[in-house]
Amino acid sequence: MSNYPHLFQPLRAGRLTLKNRIIMGSMHTRLEAEPDGSARAAAFYAERARGGAALIVTGGYSPDAHGLLEADAGALDHPHKVAEHRVVTDAVHTAGGLICLQILHAGRYAKHDNPVGASDIASPISRRKPRALSTAEVGQTVASFAACAALAREAGYDGVEIMGSEGYLISQFTALRTNNRSDRYGGPLENRLRFPLEIVRATRARVGADFLILFRMSALDLVEGGLNAEETLQLARGLEAAGVDVLDTGIGWHEARVPTIAYMVPRAAWRDATARIKSAVSIPVVATNRINTPELAEELLRDGVADLVSLARPLLADAAFALKAEQGRAAEINTCVACNQGCLDYLFRNKVASCMVNPRACSETLYPEGKARRAKRVAVVGAGAAGLACAITAFERGHSVTLYEAQEDIGGQLNLAKQVPGKEFAETLRYFRARLGNSSVRLKAGHRADADELARGAYDAVVLASGVRPRLPDIPGIDHPKVLRYDEVLSGAKVPGARVAIIGAGGIGYDVAEYLSEPRAEAKAAGFLENWGVDPQGMGDGGLAAPKPEQSPRAIVMLQRRHTPPGKTLGATTGWALRMTLARRKVPVLSSVSYQRIDDAGLYIEHEGQVKLLEVDHVVLCAGQEPVNELRAELAAKGIDAVAIGGAERAEEIDALRAIEQGMKVAYAL
């Protein structure tokens, strides 16, 4: 008997039978822009099919040149492109999976020089003003969607997903915010829904009854001038009648000022919006966003919120999510922590997607599973993120590994990061523990390895992953009892008072500010949706309501010396929400400050040409880190050339993303 009886129940979808309720949701990978993109995509998707996902949806492909997300994005708009897709569909079918192509027309979100839209209204997140499609061009675009689906069928796909959410072209037609047309595609709701419904009808007519059509609709627009819940349900019913087999859901347009998938969004936060759609139609409905454990997926299915769950980032993090859940090995799942650092933030920087907790994602052909040619004896010093990733990967590559950790427990800085509200690094630690437990890595915890011991060990390779120590800035009074380090605060060893100044507004400064400004559970007036201004019933304009921001229990001020706008180093897709949270909690950031001294009265700074006293109870140091790598020179003196990784190699900009990636790569290079 499965631990997840609903999750592993087959489901009829159109003419197909899905073996379980897990769909791999669409994610852009940027592999299509790589020279060996088809082979890498084939390996990436095939691994997810072998890992048990019932159905995979590819990243978005445009049906025509206008709809490209960016100049080198993928389009399936010509028969000569069918062959490159065959490589992918054949690989997935050989692996026992099913795969649908997502058809995505970017509309005004296109990052190229010739964007089109329902109307010529620019988006707040793009500088380019779109050209409004003429009525004849709308008809041609409908035909392009259908033609793209026909090519997908020729390429061996089992179906298509029509991308109608997140603010792309189809959303731009349905919402008054972006549609001021005066033809039959503009004006009353019935007209604005015409475009998606025509696309579905034309596609169905072109591909026949036995080809799966999913439509990803916006369960909540979360923008002013977007659809409300009632209008959304009208669209859902229309789509069912037009011939859609499965209704997938998306939450919020990309320009929405409400976080929808990042770590600060509670798990399954959007379940009510999905449940509303399910209650309006009889075809299967898919729940999405922040569903990252099999328990949660099972709960949503059991409670009748949806018929299927879409896991996108969670299957980047772990290709075998479904298999592990089915086999009772859920503790071994590498859980997506919704950091967005390796996936969306990479895509924003025009890099191929990866995953912070699984750097092999989208690079399966570069880091194939299997053993190294020669087994070596390896010592890894430090069991933080970098050391754990290195030691475990090295073991799995066939090496004999000893892992030294000075603390009693593993985890290093992950033990601090997991204290930050919303940051699920406890899952990452649980996963590392499970992998370590299944390995024969010799863990020597509570044991500080020295150069003599490492030399006696006669290892073939020594990897130093000894991490970082907090930087103590050179400020008079730095040893005053008012001064606390970030590690003392996040570990709970020291609790700051009601008035706090934070020195340093980098990633850790922001994390500490969030931690210290988070209202205590008993003082929380409202939940996530109310804080961010989401109408729980979805009946406000675009599903929005007036936000009810949280109040900080402390008066906090953040400080930095640099003159640039604060928070510039935060993640592209999460930083804005963190900055907004702190602004709403009235936590200011002062730039261009210099630190004078700290005494019983507080912290003296020079700011805007004046010396000011910040009368605070505590000053929390978040002024960066320095590497801990003294062993390297000691080993060098004994003729041992140790490789330093993670913060021990370079403390600047060290985070779990670089630590885990470097740990894995060094293990492959052994």
Using CB under 6 A, list all residues that contact ligand NAP: 341, 471, 473, 503-509, 511, 560-562, 569, 571, 622-625, 653-655
| Candidates 168, 263, 595, 604; catalytic one | 168
Q: Output the smallest distance, CB 645 to ligand NAP, in A.
A: 15
Q: Output the smallest distance, CB 264 to ligand NAP, in A.
A: 10
How far is Cα 126 from Cα 114, in angstroms, rounded to an integer? 12
| Closer by beta carbon to ligand NAP, 117 or else 575 | 575
In angstroms, the Cα distances linking 295 to 265, 292, 452, 521, 581 are 18, 9, 48, 24, 29
C-alpha of 625 from chain center: 26
| Closer by beta carbon to ligand NAP, 71 or else 583 | 583
What value, to the nearest 5°, has the Cα angle with vertex 89 and ends 21 and 74? Answer: 100
Q: Output the smallest distance, CB 388 to ligand NAP, in A.
A: 17
How large is the greatest C-alpha to C-alpha distance in the chain, in angstroms? 82
367 in Cβ contact with 641 (< 8 Å): no
Q: Output the smallest distance, CB 629 to ligand NAP, in A.
A: 16
3-state SS, residue 101: strand
In 3-state terms, the chain is what percent helix, strand and coil (to 5)?
Answer: 35, 20, 50
User: Two tokens at 605?
Assistant: 């700074």
Q: Output the smallest distance, CB 470 to ligand NAP, in A.
A: 8
| Closer by beta carbon to ligand NAP, 334 or else 341 | 341
Shortest CA distance to 284 belongs to which of 270, 299, 300? 300
| Closer by beta carbon to ligand NAP, 160 or else 503 | 503
How far is Cα 114 from Cα 40, in angstroms, rounded to an integer? 29
What is residue 264's DSSP assignment?
T
**What is the rounded (10 degree) CA torsion for 510, 513, 514, 517?**
-160
Residue 168 annotated as catalytic? yes
Q: Output the smallest distance, CB 361 to ligand NAP, in A.
A: 18
56 in Cβ contact with 98 (< 8 Å): yes
How far is Cα 154 from Cα 94, in angstroms, rounded to an integer? 17
Instruction: Report how many helices (DSSP H) and strands (DSSP E) the chain contains, helices first.
Output: 22, 27
| DSSP code string of 517-582 | HSPPGGG--S-HHHHHTB-TTS-SGGGB--------SSEEEEE-SS-SPTTTTS-TTTHHHHHHHH
Residue with tokens 């919704």: 338
Number of residue whose CB is nearest ligand NAP? 506
In angstroms, the Cα distances linking 205 to 160, 168, 209, 239, 428 are 14, 24, 8, 14, 47
Q: Output the smallest distance, CB 509 to ligand NAP, in A.
A: 5
| Closer by beta carbon to ligand NAP, 16 or else 316 | 316
| Closer by beta carbon to ligand NAP, 62 or else 340 | 340
| Closer by beta carbon to ligand NAP, 449 or else 622 | 622
Annotated catalytic residues are: 168
